[in-house]
Amino acid sequence: MSHACVRRAHDVFERSFGREPEWIARAPGRVNLIGEHTDYNEGFVLPMAIDRFVVVAGSPTIHEKRSRLVAADLGEMREVDVTRTVAEGSFVDYAIGVLQALGDRGIEPPPFEAVIASNLPRGSGLSSSAALDVALTLFFARLAGAEIAPLDVALVAQAAENRFVGVQCGIMDPFVIAHGRDGCALKIDCRAMVGEEVPARIDGFDWQVLHSGVVRALAKSEYNQRRAECERAVAAVRARHPEVRALRDVSIEEIEEATLDDVARRRARHVIAENERVVACERALRRCDVTTIGRLFAESHASLRDLYEVSCPELDERVARARAEGAVAARMTGAGFGGSILALSANGVRPRTTGLDVGIVSPTGVEPRCWRTRD
């Protein structure tokens, strides 16, 4: 109960519902070191869960049949109607999406009252929405008395986003959030859905999340469009190589010889090379080889800018500035179209920060979990 954010959720619950919450659920945000737009192509990613998180404090209702949810940071209370079929564009959508995905698995919590509080800035590319999905999944599963394994938590969170919220996101964010471990990044094979721990603390260096100044816009439609372009590339390669299932299976030669439009070809080139960079970066991280990490970050950023076209001038400028101010590695992180960059700098050699910057993040100590307040 010590953390300010947990206390805030607890206090807002008491003020809103006149009693103590019975359960507290918590899930961290994440930053992706490398492997961008590879997860939904069944490739590799290398994210780490961080020391910022989302908290859900709540209880079953006493007499009330309706469920209600409060967003402490917005000062708003909404009713949660699980039978809704259309998202309304508010925080309630996440709860409805998660409840529906749990319902598909036969997990049905009783009516509830709950409060969300968070110290993860939204629109920064730190996956505040997946963290919320995971915290809600843990909370609802507890209310229903159901045990749910981390991989299933991740799949429920992804289903909530894909089917209800309307973003066709991959497994990376909920997977790393549901499996977060202190001090580690996870190299995730997004086809096998298996994560391998990679130590992510580098002695003498800090990871920093620096904001581009552009809160992510257009992300949903552009993101879904990128997915469709990758599928177009796969379909073209499959004409000659029917065994191919995803861009994960495709070589650069196969993309070059396929009959394909230029846009889809460039998207595929990015994905194929980015998968290789994940493997190389994992090795470099294990050796604490910051020079190689710097080179791989630079290649990844250029590829996201020129081939995948998900960067923007403000992100490019922030990366250039961080490098000029002493970062040994810097690149945009997350889906793109604004949000943040990730920089690696020697202790004391800090790029200048602005008000929007998250600043130094460390590979979490905050494991996802749900606990009873009275224990």
By CB under 6 A, which span of 165-173, 180-188, 347-355, 364-372 interacts with ligand GLA? 165-173
- Burial (Cβ within 10 Å: 0-12, 13-18, ≥19) of residue 286: exposed
Q: Give the residue, chosen from 21, 97, 170, 351, that forms a contact with ligand GLA under the rule CB under 6 A.
A: 170
> Please, what is the minimum distance in Å from the beta carbon of residue 170 to ligand GLA?
3
Site membership for ligand GLA, residue 269 (CB under 6 A): no
Residues touching ligand GLA: how many (CB under 6 A)? 11
Q: Between 89 and 128, how does the x/- string for binding to ligand GLA read (CB under 6 A)?
A: ----------------------------------------
CA distances from 321 to 219, 293, 317, 353 (A): 24, 18, 6, 11
Q: Is the Cβ of residue 97 or residue 170 nearer to ligand GLA in the bound state?
A: 170
Site membership for ligand GLA, residue 266 (CB under 6 A): no
Site membership for ligand GLA, residue 133 (CB under 6 A): no
Site membership for ligand GLA, residue 270 (CB under 6 A): no
> Please, what is the minimum distance in Å from the beta carbon of residue 283 to ligand GLA?
20
- Pick the catalytic residue from 133, 152, 173, 357: 173
> Please, what is the minimum distance in Å from the beta carbon of residue 129 to ligand GLA?
8
Site membership for ligand GLA, residue 36 (CB under 6 A): yes
Site membership for ligand GLA, residue 43 (CB under 6 A): no
Q: Give the residue, chosen from 97, 294, 334, 351, that forms a contact with ligand GLA under the rule CB under 6 A.
A: 334
Q: Is the Cβ of residue 40 or residue 205 nearer to ligand GLA in the bound state?
A: 40
Does the annotation mark 173 as catalytic? yes
By CB under 6 A, which span of 51-59, 65-73, 166-174, 197-205 interacts with ligand GLA? 166-174
Report the interface residues with ligand GLA, using CB under 6 A. 32, 36-37, 39-40, 169-170, 172-173, 334-335
Task: Supply the residues annotated as catalytic.
Answer: 173
